[in-house]
């Protein structure tokens, strides 16, 4: 399923795998002023190509390596004849895509090899300039794209939600905070989120996310200082692991968030870098 929503200067694409015509989980990609930001996933490639062909796409940029954002890079590059750009760390992964878990294959499809060009500092389009902002945390290569005139932030999977309490393997809480600080300084107004689509009140949402995670980190730190074990911390903070951890074959869970907080426990000795 692919739904197109026209917001005037931005077009949003909502893509989902369906069962009995019911969408399972939407992921989003966007178009602004000749620039396509992300490409959707492989299971919807036919619909993506058909829809995107109707737009005057000149370039494609990628937020990060995950297959729900990168599944149609090579198809669109070939069929549209346009260049695709990504962070060097994204390029490394896409040149030789990793094996992924079954739930990811079912939802989005296996990652396909692609060879984008290194991302540029900014993109001067007909009406807007889009700035490239490196924002690791969700993944080492994560990159946002910011349009300063309207305060549009194409944020990939940087946001996802305010009180999300779980990490994918490899997410890094210290990098997340640094990236959020960087983004908050830009004072974005509208988020274009990989999971939730277009969202108003960008600044409030991002500040709230930062605050919730910071308080969670401080709670873990208190338990850590009181000599609680990792499993005691898990139990106290979250009441245990969530079922999805097992379904995801150890790919996504609350434990990875706790682990990342414990790995970076010293950051909670200092006041936050932003006023909450």
The smaller minimum CB distance to Fe ion, of residues 157 and 259, is found at 157
Choose one: 108-116, 151-159, 174-182, 210-218; the region binding Fe ion (CB under 5 A).
151-159
Nearest to 71 by CA among 32, 102, 33, 27: 27
Q: How far apart are CA 250 and CA 12, in angstroms?
A: 32
Choose one: 75-83, 126-134, 145-153, 157-165; the region binding Fe ion (CB under 5 A).
157-165
Establish if 254 lies at the interface with Fe ion (CB under 5 A). no
Least separation in angstroms between residue 22's CB and Fe ion is: 23
What lies within 8 Å, CB to CB, of 260 at 6+ separation is 167, 171, 172, 173, 174
Among 28, 66, 205, 209, binds Fe ion (CB under 5 A): 66
The smaller minimum CB distance to Fe ion, of residues 104 and 255, is found at 104
Establish if 157 lies at the interface with Fe ion (CB under 5 A). yes
Helix (H), strand (E) counts: the chain: 10, 17
Beta strands 143-147 and 167-168, pairing class: unpaired
The smaller minimum CB distance to Fe ion, of residues 66 and 209, is found at 66
Query: Would you give the distance in Å from CA 177 to the centre of its chain?
Result: 14
Least separation in angstroms between residue 138's CB and Fe ion is: 6
Choose one: 37-45, 64-72, 217-225, 245-253; the region binding Fe ion (CB under 5 A).
64-72
Half-sphere exposure of 203 (CA within 13 A, CB side): 10
The smaller minimum CB distance to Fe ion, of residues 93 and 220, is found at 93
Least separation in angstroms between residue 160's CB and Fe ion is: 8
**Residues 40 and 29 sit within 8 Å (Cβ to Cβ):** yes
Binding stretches for Fe ion (CB under 5 A) = 66, 157
């Amino acid at each position: 399923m692919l739904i197109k929503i026209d917001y005037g200067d931005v077009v949003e694409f909502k893509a989902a795998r369906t069962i009995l015509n019911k969408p399972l989980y939407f992921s989003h990609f966007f178009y602004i002023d000749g620039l396509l930001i992300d490409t959707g996933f492989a299971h919807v490639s036919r619909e993506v190509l058909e829809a995107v062909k109707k737009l005057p796409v000149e370039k494609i940029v990628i937020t990060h390596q995950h297959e729900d954002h990168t599944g149609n890079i090579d198809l669109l590059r070939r069929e549209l004849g346009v260049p695709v750009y990504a962070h060097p760390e994204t390029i490394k992964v896409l040149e030789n895509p990793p094996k992924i878990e079954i739930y990811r294959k079912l939802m989005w499809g296996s990652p396909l090899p692609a060879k984008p060009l290194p991302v540029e500092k900014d993109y001067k389009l007909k009406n807007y300039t889009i700035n490239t902002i490196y924002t690791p945390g969700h993944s080492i290569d994560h990159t946002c794209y910011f349009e300063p005139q309207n305060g549009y932030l194409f944020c990939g999977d940087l946001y996802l939600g305010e009180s999300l309490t779980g990490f994918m393997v490899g997410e890094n809480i210290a990098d997340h905070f640094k990236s959020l600080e960087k983004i908050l300084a830009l004072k974005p107004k509208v988020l274009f989120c990989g999971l939730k689509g277009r969202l108003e009140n960008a600044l409030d949402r991002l500040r709230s996310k930062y605050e919730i995670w910071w308080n969670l980190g401080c709670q873990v730190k208190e338990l850590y200082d009181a000599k609680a074990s990792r499993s005691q911390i898990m139990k106290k903070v979250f009441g245990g692991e969530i079922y999805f951890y097992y379904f995801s074959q150890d790919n996504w869970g609350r434990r990875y968030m706790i682990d990342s907080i414990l790995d970076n426990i010293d950051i909670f000795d200092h006041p936050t870098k932003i006023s909450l």
